[in-house]
Structure 1
């Protein structure tokens, strides 16, 4: 449908149900899957409620709580203070499971260059992305920021 009619079509899949009384819940889950998918899985056209992961939790948080979380995480500086190259570096670092050597290879930079960039991020944010707890906090903060920017309409 996307290529023939130049319209973006999204399909949400709720959990499988055994009886008619649970059908409404599954339908609601399918709607949520579409909305959460629009924020966190923009490349996917078919989104399953069961595969939404942490995005499903973030989607259910009040925006005021999300804003407070971002202020707490980035008390040393804002997320906006990070340039595009730095954000791309962070994304690649996460995609390579916090592996410095593999990330530097994928970015075509020397390992020391990547370490320098990670240190720069630590100075700006107070988070050392080489530490798992800091990395997960940063990853969740990025997802929360994406959610706040998108401000989806909730069903």
Structure 2
């Protein structure tokens, strides 16, 4: 279960919890092992907050001759847990305590590995402001520079979240206009990559990777998970590019879980039998949309020579690049050979 760490002293919470359970059930509940003749035998039970040995422990003063049955103890544990959560929540909502922010919530959520439901529940509990429609953006720098956050805060003064994490910076950048078309929104996301990359290179002299998730509203946790996944895809398939957006992952998302041996076998089967000359011809043919004339011009060879080479490729591999199915097979093999990095 999710660990709850109260900001109030645990002993005070337990005393209040024991008092409330006693009032609601009529049973004598204690927060310490206080044994007196009047109270009888103490039967311990835990409020199972996190499932470890450090969970709050309460004691039931059992005055009857027989031991309490397991169902009674279980019901008390469930009741105590719900009441404990309420007490902790009231403590967190105390205006005198430190206010919660999206950044602080992200810190705690990542540390405790929350899921979307828990993150949403906590955001509602702490009454955090609703995020405007925007882009989740994660900026990685090599080497990391302590002024990255300051520079980007000046570039995006209206960013609603600015959270440093693992030598990177997570931003929630508001969308400039709510009426933008889907195409324009994506163009705006691409522009963010270029302006951040250029600014940090000019101002701080650092190499930057900018990862942009799908535009959304009030969906910070999913945005964070999305840009983290983009970081892995970028490192594996797009190393050297200034950034990556969620809508430009292409085949990388499909092949991100592909085993190295499987990819190597596929590449070898399709391309391993081709000479360097035939492989170059095949690449040019695909890049020129299967056009004989355009490919021949690009390679500075006669059309008949190109036709001969394509026939040779078909003979060696069993796939005809002039047909759609064959072209797709070869395109995937060449893409894997070019982009798969292990």
Indicate conservation of the 8 Å contact 1:89/1:107, yes or no: yes
Q: Please list every run of 5 or more consecutive structure 1 residues that lacks an aligned counterpart in the other structure.
A: none
Higher relative contact order (CA 8 A, sep 6+): 1
Secondary structure in structure 1 of the residue aligned to 2:321: coil
d(CA) in 2 for partners of 1:115, 1:30:
41
Max Rg structure = 2
Q: Which has the higher strand share?
A: 2
Superposed CA offset, 1:69-96 (max 9, x none): 446xx2xxx6233232222211111111
Q: What's the RMSD between the two structures over aligned residues?
A: 2.6
Secondary structure in structure 2 of the residue aligned to 1:81: coil
| Corresponding residue for residue 286 of structure 2 | 94
d(CA) in 2 for partners of 1:27, 1:147:
20
| Corresponding residue for residue 306 of structure 2 | 114
Indicate conservation of the 8 Å contact 1:122/1:129, yes or no: yes
1:57 matches 2:254: yes
Indicate conservation of the 8 Å contact 2:285/2:291, yes or no: yes
- Flag the 1:63–1:133 CA change in 2: closer, same or farther, 3 A: same
Indicate conservation of the 8 Å contact 1:66/1:144, yes or no: yes
- After superposition, residues 74-85 of structure 1 pair within 5 angstroms as 74=269, 79-85=271-277
Indicate conservation of the 8 Å contact 1:14/1:33, yes or no: no
Superposed CA offset, 1:46-68 (max 9, x none): 22221121222112223344345
Q: Please list every run of 5 or more consecutive structure 2 residues that lacks an aligned counterpart in the other structure.
A: 1-200
Which of 129, 133, 141 is the aligned partner of 2:321? 129
What is the aligned length?
A: 139
Between 1:79-88 and 1:92-101, the stretch displaced more is 79-88
TM-score of the superposed pair, with normalisation by structure 1: 0.73
| Corresponding residue for residue 37 of structure 1 | 238
Indicate conservation of the 8 Å contact 1:15/1:29, yes or no: no
- Flag the 1:56–1:117 CA change in 2: closer, same or farther, 3 A: same
Q: Which has the higher helix share?
A: 1
- Flag the 1:18–1:29 CA change in 2: closer, same or farther, 3 A: farther
Secondary structure in structure 2 of the residue aligned to 1:66: helix
1:25 matches 2:225: yes
| Corresponding residue for residue 13 of structure 1 | 212
TM-score of the superposed pair, with normalisation by structure 2: 0.36
